[in-house]
Amino acid sequence: MNLEFFFSALTDVWVVGELLIALFTTTHQGQGKIHDRGTQMILWVVLIGSFKIEEWMHKFFPIDMPGSSTWLAPAAFGILILGLGVRFVAIVTLGRAFSANVAMRVGQGLQRRGLYRLVRHPSYLGLELILVALALHSRTWACFAVALVPPTLAVLYRMHVEETALRLAFGADYEDYSRSTKRLIPGVY
């Protein structure tokens, strides 16, 4: 077994995990106030579309990233593990308040502990790290762009929708939290 095998296996674990998250954590009518505006579907369509296009593009674009035969594969693997860990911890920290769609559940409070002290959207930070790992794993700049840019734009739109819902639900508390905590990258953005 080599690094490629483990990278592929972890990617499969991530995909299955995301499917299970979508099946078991989506908030339905009567369970809370849904603010999703189609972002769950948009994110799935963009992710699947981007990775299918990236896979097809590999037939036409040669490997052109520096370090493709040395450090790039281990770096992508490490970033994948980090992303999976961050996403998992963020979801577990929210517990029953986590929802695959943008929704506010009855009795849900504003989370400020754990990774939520560092960034307002650690589960999206984990997802972005996973996307960076998958994009680096492509080893071509064109495929990197297709695997990273459209999904990132979809995540940014979803964060905007989610922040609007959080402001409606928590008002001044969320405004205060927003001033003291960056959105996605600790200390930067």
pLDDT at 181: 96
CATH class of 9-25+35-180: mainly alpha
pLDDT tens digits, residue range 122-147?
Answer: 999 999 999 999 999 999 999 999 99
Q: Is the pLDDT of residue 7 over 80?
A: yes
pLDDT band at 105 (very low <50, low <70, confident <90, very high): confident
CA angle, 178 as apex, 125 and 25 as ends, to 5°?
A: 50
Residues 6+ apart with CB under 8 A from 141: 64, 65
pTM for the model stands at 0.95
In whole angstroms, give the CA distance from residue 35 to residue 156: 15
pLDDT band at 1 (very low <50, low <70, confident <90, very high): confident
- Per domain, the residue ranges of the chain are 9-25+35-180
Instruction: Find out whether 21 and 84 touch, Cβ atoms under 8 Å.
Output: no
Q: Which runs of E-coded beta strand occur in 9-161?
A: 32-34, 103-105
Residue among 100, 116, 93, 124 nearest 178 (CA): 116
pLDDT band at 39 (very low <50, low <70, confident <90, very high): very high
pLDDT above 90 as % of the chain: 90
Overall average pLDDT of the 25-30 stretch? 89
In whole angstroms, give the CA distance from residue 27 to residue 33: 8
Instruction: Find out whether 112 and 177 touch, Cβ atoms under 8 Å.
Output: yes
